[in-house]
Homo-oligomer: A and B are copies of this chain.
């Protein structure tokens, strides 16, 4: 008998869900407002209602569903099935897994959203040839997830894999976590935009001013001007060096088979990946004597969370 799974990507604004088979095919998919301002019970009800609708759409029986997985923002205790703390959801110690299970009548597992995305990309995305991977998402911050031997690694009480919050430049740029010099403070899209703006301010003749002003800067800007503007080139080269430094650290500490990069910056494709892979190959511990670490670009996009949440049951 084919088995099915429900994956829920719980966001601050929307709950996205899908019924998934064991090959990662999404049989039905929908979303509904989170309404976290109405409290945790309401969110649990919204998840359950969405899940019932998704099951109905596929025409399969609830008895064929192995379980429901939730990927949630914030600090999670996956063993307890509890959101310990989430600014986005305004929760402290909310037992979302249990509350959802009560309503849907299915067993529920919970994990952090960055972690389940790593599991999704590894099971069903660009990492599916590998059992040992790290997903690093370059967005507003730097998110991370670690898969070891095909299973999610979360650290004690699921508090590990905060890969963006390792200092790579002691005393350096301020990070949102309160420390100075974190990987996130150099490798996030936010950091890339900050450094692009600084470079423009320092170089009034930069061609990057053509975009119309500092408020028009995105992570794409310095890449667009890489070939024609020295300041843009410097920004990108420095970004790649700092991103490469953090990735090499992770390679030495965890030694995965592949590191998967996600987030908007990855739209740069080979312009980003080729020099990064060269940096990593050169800097990695023991060089060619050890197993190499392959850099990949995430392929599942917004579905990584949903698929990874479902994969918590596989």
Q: Which residues of A contact B (CB under 8 A)?
A: 75, 84-85, 132, 148, 153-157, 159-163, 165-170, 172, 177-179, 241-242, 245, 248-250, 252-257, 283, 285-287, 289-291
Which of A148, A156, A157, A250 has most B Cβ within 10 Å? A156
Q: Is the CB of A255 within 8 A of B162?
A: yes
- CB neighbours of A154 from chain B (8 A): 255
Contacts of A254 in B (CB 8 A): 155, 160, 253
- Which chain B positions have C-beta within 8 A of A169? 169-170
Indicate how many identical chains form the complex: 2
* Chain B positions within 8 Å of A250 at CB level: 253
Instruction: State whether A291 touches B252 (Cβ < 8 A).
Output: no
A291 near B156: Cβ-Cβ < 8 Å: yes
Identify 12 new A-B residue pairs, CB closer than 8 A, beyond the known A157-B255, A165-B249.
Answer: A84-B289, A85-B286, A148-B153, A155-B255, A156-B257, A157-B290, A159-B291, A166-B166, A167-B248, A177-B286, A178-B287, A179-B248
Q: Closest CB-CB distance, A84 to chain B, in whole Å?
A: 7
Chain B residues with CB under 8 A of A178:
283, 287
Give A76 Cβ to nearest chain B Cβ, in Å: 11
Q: How far is the CA of A153 from the CA of B148 in the complex (A)?
A: 9
